[in-house]
């Protein structure tokens, strides 16, 4: 207990953080290892201790005693006994069940706790996955059930540690080409932790070099690799980065997308093609067994489409690496990432990487606009499902965008929107190009390249630019609308600005919000993840932008 500490730990497993306390930043970083931020108003942030958070922390090497020590170090009142016991017992559940192979290569679920084995064997969703009881400490598993049983066990509170090993795949030599660059310490640590754990997720800020972690993992594995990415632009960025950073040649890297169907020792495929159906069946499942893959990399694993979880359940014998800036999923399927891709193996706080100089500092602003009386009446009279669109596309935002673009003249500016008619209006009013999901891939690549070199300093983009787009010289993002209260989207959009700049300019992230509407409510939710990382939003009135621009 520390009477000067910033935390209040409550018996409902919530933790309150006093933002103004001198120890708040220090405590926030320590809490992020095993808690999730729920609310982040101005003065007191609320974190929750969750089972999945505790298990992820345990899988990453943190013990229950270490987590309790964090609470005791920063809590101004004694930690409730019930919370201390709950943390100890919940963390202790991880690894009580292990999946191994016997001498014949059969999958075995083993535990030293006969009562736990008996309990799970009577579960109606687990029992069909167990073929026979070997002895008092083990069941044999169905050969196909390795992924499914891990999913089911997480749901009932008994996460299994998977020690059954992985197929090495077809050997394929891959070396890093370190001429002119070197692995950053945290990148190497991420790779080391991944291989120590076998499979799992590496969490790094946007701009911190997740692709290089993937390349280094490939070099360490020296095997055929399947890389799954969000879109074709991302696939080509991965290809270019691998050609630049490794010994791989163009003949060794294939693209498997809507445009090309190449299968090579390193194949980069889009989630979209993997989930494409023909006559009700997944048309490209053969890709998963086209080669004897020794490593499967999931880029932006927090975006993994639901069908890919099912496919991944069948890939448990192959080593799996998930890369992401945030494990937040708006569909609540973090448990499936944990059980099927693997637990979190490494997580670097954004502000820590910023302090080391590897990502750019960023200032975040929420700019509030007022709806005129007529629009306010229309909003009030609208159905709930129409109100967000009316608020998010408020015409008053257009003038603010113009003022911000003028204020940052000479910088690279991304204007990001959710609605196509709003994007059309912005692009036309500013006289700048727009880029949406309907923009052909070659045109997207051309526009992104013109933006990178400064020929096109302002781009209006839809959510297709949220993910896996490398725009290192972008210094300003103006978010006019988004996917409701999506925390992951907020993190990714700020991430477009965090790559280090040759210009040395700081990053500015503006979110335009219609005051006293659901737009403002959603904005608060969107900001939760970044608040957890230590970013704060300065609230501005739209009139102050006009004054500054003048």
pLDDT value at residue 112: 87
pLDDT value at residue 466: 65
pLDDT band for position 219 (cuts 50, 70, 90): very high
- CA neighbor of 300 nearest in space, from 461, 468, 472, 463: 468
Structural contact between residues 312 and 340, judged by C-beta atoms closer than 8 angstroms: yes
Q: CA distances (Å), 378 to each of 70, 384, 386, 515, in order?
A: 50, 12, 10, 15
Decide if pLDDT at 328 tops 90. no
Decide if pLDDT at 485 tops 80. no
Structural contact between residues 525 and 487, judged by C-beta atoms closer than 8 angstroms: yes
Decide if pLDDT at 58 tops 80. yes
pLDDT value at residue 190: 95
pLDDT band for position 331 (cuts 50, 70, 90): confident
Mean of pLDDT values over 395-400: 92
Structural contact between residues 68 and 80, judged by C-beta atoms closer than 8 angstroms: no
Phi/psi for 284 (5° steps) reads -125, 25
As a whole-number percent, the residues of the chain with pLDDT over 90 amount to 60
Q: Which residue stretches of 365-467 are H helix?
A: 373-381, 384-392, 396-407, 420-430, 441-453
pLDDT value at residue 544: 83
Structural contact between residues 90 and 54, judged by C-beta atoms closer than 8 angstroms: yes
Region for 222 from its dihedrals, namely left if φ exceeds 0, alpha if ψ lies in -120 to 50, beta otherwise: left
Task: Give residue-wise pLDDT tens across range 6-46.
Answer: 999 999 999 999 999 999 989 988 998 899 888 777 789 89
Largest CA distance in the chain: 79
Q: How far apart are CA 63 and CA 69, in angstroms?
A: 10
Structural contact between residues 301 and 341, judged by C-beta atoms closer than 8 angstroms: yes
Radius of gyration for the chain, computed over Cα atoms and rounded to the nearest angstrom: 24
- How big, in percent rounded to 5, are the helix, strand and coil portions of the chain? 40, 20, 35
Task: Give residue-wise pLDDT tens across range 433-484.
Answer: 999 888 888 898 899 889 888 899 999 998 877 665 677 788 999 999 887 6
* DSSP string over 201-249: EEE--TTS-HHHHHHHHHHHH-B-EEEEESSHHHHHHHHHHHHHHBS--
pLDDT value at residue 187: 96
pLDDT value at residue 469: 67
Q: SS3 of 152, please? A: helix
Task: Give residue-wise pLDDT tens across range 134-165.
Answer: 999 999 999 999 999 999 999 999 999 999 99
Q: SS3 of 269, please? A: strand
Mean of pLDDT values over 250-267: 94
pLDDT band for position 546 (cuts 50, 70, 90): low
pLDDT value at residue 159: 95
pLDDT band for position 268 (cuts 50, 70, 90): very high
Q: Mean pLDDT, the chain, as a whole number?
A: 90
Q: Counting beta carbons within 10 angstroms of the beta carbon of residue 80, is it exposed (0 to 12), middle (13 to 18) or buried (19 or more)?
A: middle
As a whole-number percent, the residues of the chain with pLDDT over 70 amount to 98
> In order of start, what are the domains of the chain with their CATH numbers?
7-93 (no CATH), 97-158 (no CATH), 185-353 (3.40.50.300), 360-549 (3.40.50.300)
Mean of pLDDT values over 319-347: 88
Q: How far apart are CA 42 and CA 60, in angstroms?
A: 31
pLDDT band for position 494 (cuts 50, 70, 90): confident
- Kindly state the DSSP code that residue 339 receives in the 8-state scheme: I
Q: Counting beta carbons within 10 angstroms of the beta carbon of residue 105, is it exposed (0 to 12), middle (13 to 18) or buried (19 or more)?
A: exposed
């Amino acid at each position: 207990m520390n009477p000067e500490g910033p935390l209040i730990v409550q018996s409902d497993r919530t933790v309150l953080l006093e933002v103004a306390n001198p120890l708040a930043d220090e405590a926030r970083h320590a809490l992020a290892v095993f808690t999730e931020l729920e609310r982040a108003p101005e003065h007191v942030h609320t974190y929750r201790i969750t089972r999945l958070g505790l298990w992820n922390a345990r899988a990453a090497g943190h013990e229950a005693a270490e987590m309790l020590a964090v609470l005791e170090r920063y809590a101004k009142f004694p930690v409730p006994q019930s919370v201390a016991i709950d943390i100890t017992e919940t963390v202790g559940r991880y690894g009580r069940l292990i999946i191994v192979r016997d001498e014949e290569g059969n999958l075995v679920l083993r535990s030293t706790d006969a009562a736990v084995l008996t309990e799970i064997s009577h579960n109606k969703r687990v029992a069909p996955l167990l073929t026979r009881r070997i002895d008092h400490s083990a069941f044999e598993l169905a050969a196909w059930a390795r992924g499914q049983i891990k999913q089911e066990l997480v749901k009932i509170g008994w996460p299994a540690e998977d020690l059954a090993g992985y197929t090495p795949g077809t050997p394929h030599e891959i070396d890093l080409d370190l001429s002119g660059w070197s692995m950053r310490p945290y990148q190497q640590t991420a790779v080391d932790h991944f291989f120590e754990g076998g499979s799992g997720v590496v969490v790094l800020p946007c701009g911190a070099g997740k692709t290089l972690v993937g390349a280094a993992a490939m070099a360490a594995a020296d095997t055929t690799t399947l890389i799954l990415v969000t879109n074709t632009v991302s696939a080509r960025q991965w290809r270019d980065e691998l050609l630049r950073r490794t010994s791989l040649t163009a003949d060794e890297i294939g693209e498997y997308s809507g445009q090309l169907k190449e299968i090579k020792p390193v194949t980069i495929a889009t989630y979209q093609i993997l989930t494409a159906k023909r006559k009700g069946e997944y048309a490209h499942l053969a890709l998963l067994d086209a080669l004897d893959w020794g490593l499967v990399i999931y880029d932006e694993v927090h975006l993994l489409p639901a069908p890919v979880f099912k496919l991944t359940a069948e890939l448990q014998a192959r080593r799996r690496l998930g890369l992401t800036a945030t494990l937040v999923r708006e569909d609540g399927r973090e448990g499936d990432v944990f059980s099927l891709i693997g637990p979190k193996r490494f997580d670097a706080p954004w502000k820590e990487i910023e302090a080391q100089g590897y990502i750019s500092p960023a200032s975040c602003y929420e700019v509030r606009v007022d709806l005129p009386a007529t629009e306010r009446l229309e909003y009030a009279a609208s159905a709930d499902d129409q109100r967000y669109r009316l608020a998010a596309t408020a015409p008053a935002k257009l003038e603010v965008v113009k003022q911000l673009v003028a204020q940052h003249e000479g910088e690279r500016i991304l204007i990001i929107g959710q609605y196509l008619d709003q994007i059309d209006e912005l692009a036309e009013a500013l006289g700048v190009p727009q880029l949406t999901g309907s923009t052909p891939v070659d045109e997207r690549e051309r526009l992104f390249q013109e933006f990178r070199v400064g020929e096109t300093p302002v781009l209006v983009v839809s959510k297709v630019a949220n993910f896996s787009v490398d725009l290192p010289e972008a210094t300003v993002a103006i978010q006019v609308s988004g996917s409701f209260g999506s925390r992951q989207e907020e993190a990714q959009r700020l991430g477009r600005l965090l790559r280090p700049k040759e210009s040395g300019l700081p990053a500015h992230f503006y979110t335009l919000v219609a005051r006293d509407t659901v737009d403002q409510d959603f904005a608060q939710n969107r900001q939760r993840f970044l608040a957890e990382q230590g970013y704060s939003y300065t609230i501005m009135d739209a009139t102050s932008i006009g004054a500054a621009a003048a």
